[in-house]
Amino acid sequence: MNSRTTTFSFSELSALRENRLLLQWLVVAGAIVQLLFWVIGLVFWLTGNAELASFVIASLIALVGLSLYGLASWSFRQGRTLSGRRWLFLAMTFGSILVLLLFGGVDGARVSVMFVAIVSAGLLGSGQDTFLVSLVNLAAYLLLLLAEQFWGLQPFHAGNLLIDSGFLVIAVVSVSTLAWLSSRDLSRALVESQSRAEELLRNTEQLMEKNIQQVELGSELAAAAAELQANSQQQAGGASEQASAVSEVSTTIEELGSTARQIAQAAEHVSEAAQQTLEQLSSGQNAVDESIQAMERIRQRVQDISTRVLGLGERSQQIGEIIDLIDDISDETHLLALNAAIEAAGAGEYGRRFAVVAAEVKSLANRTLAAAKEVKGVIAEIRQATSAAVLAAEEGSKEVERGVELAHRAGQVMDNIVMVAERTAQAAAEIGLATAQQQSASEQVVETMREIAEVARQSALSARHMAESAVKLNAIAARLHGLASSEH
C-alpha cells in the first residue's frame, strides 16, 4: 500500500493530512462500521422493529455511504488525496446519518457522532472540506428533523440513555484520538522547525567565518593577482612574439609553397617532354624495325647473287684448265724452237736457213703463248671480277649483318632511351605528385600556422583580459580587506 505513496522518513515533517495510511484505515474502518450498522438495521427490520420504507431509506443511505468509501479508497489509490479526503468525510457523514436513523433520531446526545466527520474534516482536510462537511451534516440533521416531525420517520430503535451515552463516548473518543494525533503531529512539526532554525543559525555562523577567511585570502589573492598580471603581460608579450615568429614561418612556408609550385611546373614540363620523346621514339622504333626487315631482304638477295657468282667462278676454273693445256704446248714449242736455234747456230750455212725456220717456229710459239697469255689474262680478270663480286657480296652481306646488328643495337638503345624516357616521365610524375603533396602539406602547415597565430593572438587577448581581471581582483581583495578590518 505504501509503494505508490510517498515514503516516510522520520526526519521529514509529514502532515497528518497527508498520512495516507491513517486515511486508508479510516476508510476501511468507516466502511466496516457502515456495513455493521446496516446489518443491524437489517436485523431490526427482520425482527419487525422497523418499517420497510425506513429500511429502504437506511439501505440507501448505507449504499451511498459504502460507495463514498469505495470512491475515497479509489481516489487515495489514484493519489488524489484532496478529493479522496472529501469523499471520506462525506462517507463518514453518511455513516453518522445512518447511525442517527437507526438509533433514535436527532434528539439526543447521539447527534454528537456527526462531529466525528466534522472534526475529521477539520483536522485532516482542508478549509473547504470542513465547510462542506459541516453544511452536509447540518443539512442532514435538518432533513432528519423534518422527516421526524412532519413526515413520520421513525428511527429503528428508540433512543435511550444507554445508546446516547454509548454513541457520545464513541464520538468523544474518536474526536479526541484524532485531536491527539493531530497535536502530536503538530508538535513534531514544531520540533523539526526549531531544529531547522538552529541549523540555519549554525550555517550562518560558518558562512561568517568563511567570509573572514576569504578576506584573509583576499590579500593573498591580491598578491596572486599581481603575479597573474605580470605573467599575463609576459604571456601577452610572448604570444605576440609567437605570432610574429609564426607569421615569419608562414611566409617561409608560402615561399616554399611557391618554390614547390615552380618545381611542379618544371616537372610537368619534363613530363611533357618525356611524353613527346616517347612518341617520337615509338615512331623511331618502327623505323628501326622496318630497316631491319629491309636489310634481311637485302641479305637474302646478296646470298642469291653470291651463289650465282660462285657458279660462274667454277666455269671460269674449267676454262683456266684448258688454257693451262695450251700453255704447256706453247712452252714446249718455245723450247723446241730455242734448241733448234742453238743447233742452227752451230750448223753453219745450213744452220742459217734452219735458224730462220726455227726463228719462225719460235715466233709462232711466242704468238701462241702470247694469245694464251691474253686469254689467261682475260680469265684472270674474269676470275678476279668474280672473286671481287663474291667478295663484294660477302662484304655486302657482312655489311648487312653489321647493319642488322647496328639496327638491333639502335633498337636496344632506343628501348633504353624509351625506358629512360618512361622513367623520366614517371620521375616527373612522382616529382609532380611529391610537390603537390608537399604543396598541400605546406598549405596545411600554413593553415596550422595561421591557426597557431590566431591562438597566439587570442591567448594574448585573454592574457590582457586576465590582467584586467587581476586588477579587478586586486580591487575586490582590497575592499574585502577593508570590510574585514572594519568588522574586527
Partner 1 sequence: MILLIETISRRYLCRQNDVDAVGFPSTADRDDRGRPIMRSQLGPLLDPSDPPASGRLHALTIHLRRRVVELLVVRIDLLAEPPSVVPLAPFLTACLQLPWVTGAALLDEQPVLMLDLRRLATDLALGLRLKHAEAAL
Positions in the binding site for partner 1 (CB under 8 A): 327-328, 331-332, 334-335, 338-339, 341-342, 345, 362
For the chain, the farthest-separated pair of C-alpha atoms sits apart, in whole angstroms, at 233
Helices 81-102, 20-46: inter-axial angle, 10-degree rounding? 30
Give the shortest CB-313-to-partner 1 separation in angstroms: 21
Q: Using an 8 Å Cβ cutoff, are 104 and 155 in contact?
A: yes
Strand partners, 103: 157
Percent of residues in the chain assigned helix, strand, coil, to nearest 5? 90, 0, 10
Smaller CB separation from partner 1, 195 or 317: 317
Smaller CB separation from partner 1, 199 or 374: 374
Give the shortest CB-328-to-partner 1 separation in angstroms: 7
CA 174 to chain centre: 72
Give the shortest CB-343-to-partner 1 separation in angstroms: 11
Give the shortest CB-362-to-partner 1 separation in angstroms: 7
CA 101, CA 108: separation in Å to the nearest integer? 12
Q: Using an 8 Å Cβ cutoff, are 32 and 69 in contact?
A: no
Q: Which helix (H) or strand (E) segment is 193 a member of? A: helix 161-345
Tell me whether residue 400 is exposed, middle or buried, using C-beta atoms within 10 angstroms of its C-beta: 0 to 12, 13 to 18, 19 or more.
buried
Smaller CB separation from partner 1, 60 or 335: 335
Smaller CB separation from partner 1, 80 or 373: 373
| CA separation, residue 484 to residues 207, 225, 471 (Å) | 14, 19, 20
Give the shortest CB-361-to-partner 1 separation in angstroms: 12
Cβ partners under 8 Å of residue 64, min gap 6: 94
Give the shortest CB-338-to-partner 1 separation in angstroms: 6
Give the shortest CB-369-to-partner 1 separation in angstroms: 10
Smaller CB separation from partner 1, 336 or 385: 336
Cβ partners under 8 Å of residue 116, min gap 6: 92, 96, 170, 171, 174, 175
In one-letter notation, the amino acid at residue 250 is S
The number of beta carbons lying within 10 Å of the beta carbon of residue 412 is 11
Helices 20-46, 52-78: inter-axial angle, 10-degree rounding? 160
Smaller CB separation from partner 1, 18 or 327: 327
Smaller CB separation from partner 1, 261 or 334: 334
Smaller CB separation from partner 1, 332 or 451: 332
Smaller CB separation from partner 1, 351 or 411: 351
CA 335, CA 339: separation in Å to the nearest integer? 6
Give the shortest CB-388-to-partner 1 separation in angstroms: 24
User: Which three three-digit cell numbers place residue 347?
Assistant: 750448223
Cβ partners under 8 Å of residue 261, min gap 6: 435, 439
Smaller CB separation from partner 1, 26 or 369: 369
CA 319, CA 379: separation in Å to the nearest integer? 8
What does 408-423 look like in DSSP terms, one character per residue? HHHHHHHHHHHHHHHH
In one-letter notation, the amino acid at residue 65 is G
What value, to the nearest 5°, has the Cα angle with vertex 14 and ends 13 and 16? 135
Smaller CB separation from partner 1, 230 or 335: 335
